[in-house]
Structure 1
């Protein structure tokens, strides 16, 4: 089956209402160009480094502005609208980095909470501790839709290939990678990671990204893109600003790639045997 997918690039600020307006405007643009699956980036609703200020504007999912706007718009346009993620208030004071998929009838199909927390220390003093505010998810999600099987990840998840492999083995034909990659890590790794995940699993990767300098001062890498199962970049955006990235997705290409290189079937279990030197010139038997 062939369908048109869209990855929306945004530069979300600290005001969820303004971000919702941007999401709606760009989703309408994507639908007008024929997209039936539309993905927004990680943290569509707000990018706010001040955690106290972030908590002050958050709602639970039932009262979240982004979730409500996406549900209404998906039903109006008759499309699959995938909020790549948005911050959702949890009862224990933590925050969920939650993706939400709405169907053409406006009903929520499923959600996905980001599993891997971005706790890193980069060059030039850039440091992030996502786990200090966010509650990691523990459930991988695979949705069987009328155009194919869609797997879920968010941003830092892309560095954990086992998440992608398990979903591919379970039948995923398309993986979503909405993100707010930092400029520093994006310049080094963004495209190569997306292409690697597509190649090693023989599937499409759709990655809507944040791009630009945000109101809270952070810089994100942009370059939203769609990659095919052979690792070819079908479409991509620039480093900053809003964009709608479109590509035709032919799910038959997944099965063709996996027939050529059936590594999912050819994988074997093995035992890791660690050896240590027993002395000069020898190793343990």
Structure 2
């Protein structure tokens, strides 16, 4: 029994690339889900996906100038993401269009521009690497960068936590305290961009948002309290990242999709069986009046 446990759960991490991959996944699992919870509470779940595509042109430019240099690609991604967020906010203020509509427009432009740049400067393999990532290819430099970015995100969220919560629940009160809503909103979007930049090396620009949103939306079916949402989301993200790596190792599956699909399976099961807002909870609410009527 112990030999089977060792072979299934411990032996894969005898390899250095697996150890680096699991540490990178755990680091992202600490920073991404809390941001996903705030995006969900703000009704901005799809904004995360738009921002994930917004970093692509900057990543592509970094690739064109320096090849697979993660620091240069990350710097380009941060600049590109912040630029798109700023442009979307400016267009929304100047024209009166909803910010999500402006963001969707810019993310489509960014996606097309990024794919074009990578295709002009590299091969289909390079494009696949940028779009879908490769967590098993994380080296020491990438791991240090991911750890530094996720640590900065967690620290910034801890400092801004009260303001982020108040802005979600009562933005007028925050304005009354002399704090500009736009400032908090802009800083929050900057944290989202930093997280997506940290995650593109492991999951690619197309799936980096998965580890942010899927655990957060899964937690919604199990808790109604903010601390519960964040705790469950972080734990499920860690389980998904580690479990997805183990599945990819034993079944020879691509690692990034394995992680996201495992997180997605948790979401589907939670939607069916969770304590709140799930199909099971809805059926129980419908059955409760009938049971009371029979008892009477």
TM-score of the aligned structures, taking structure 1 as reference length: 0.29
- Structure with greater proportional strand content: 1
- Structure with greater proportional helix content: 2
TM-score of the aligned structures, taking structure 2 as reference length: 0.28
Q: Which has the bigger relative contact order, CA under 8 A and spacing at least 6?
A: 2
**Greater CA radius of gyration, 1 or 2?**
2
